[in-house]
Amino acid sequence: MPATPAMPATSATPAGGQGVPPGMTQIEPPKDPLVERREARQKAAAEYKAKKKAAKGEYKEEVGAAKQERKVENKAADATAKQEMAAPKQ
């Protein structure tokens, strides 16, 4: 005689006996309006956060480029000023 797995004494239906009988499909109840509102707000907040992060990254790149440009200009101005100071006056 082949070994058969033991059947559990209780079925896998949730408490309350609201399991779906075989051959029928589970129909989802309509969502609670508060749940829909919460999910919509979470989605909107995530989109806003992503846009803000992207904008902040662009801003930092622009500021970094401006700083580099200003440093180069200051070094050039400093070098010309030093040359003028070192040049003998007549």
Higher pLDDT, 79 or 22: 79
User: Which tens digit of pLDDT belongs to each residue from 9-33?
Assistant: 555 554 555 666 677 787 888 889 9
Task: Please name the helix (run of DSSP H) or strand (run of DSSP E) that holds residue 27, with its range, or none.
Answer: none
Which domain covers residue 88, as residue numbers?
33-90
pLDDT at 26: 76
pLDDT value at 89 more than 90: no
pLDDT class for 82, splitting at 50, 70, 90? very high
Q: Residues 16, 8: contact at Cβ < 8 Å?
A: no
> How many domains does the chain divide into?
1
The answer to whether residue 27 sits within a structural domain is no
Higher pLDDT, 29 or 5: 29
The answer to whether residue 78 sits within a structural domain is yes
The answer to whether residue 58 sits within a structural domain is yes
pLDDT value at 76 more than 70: yes
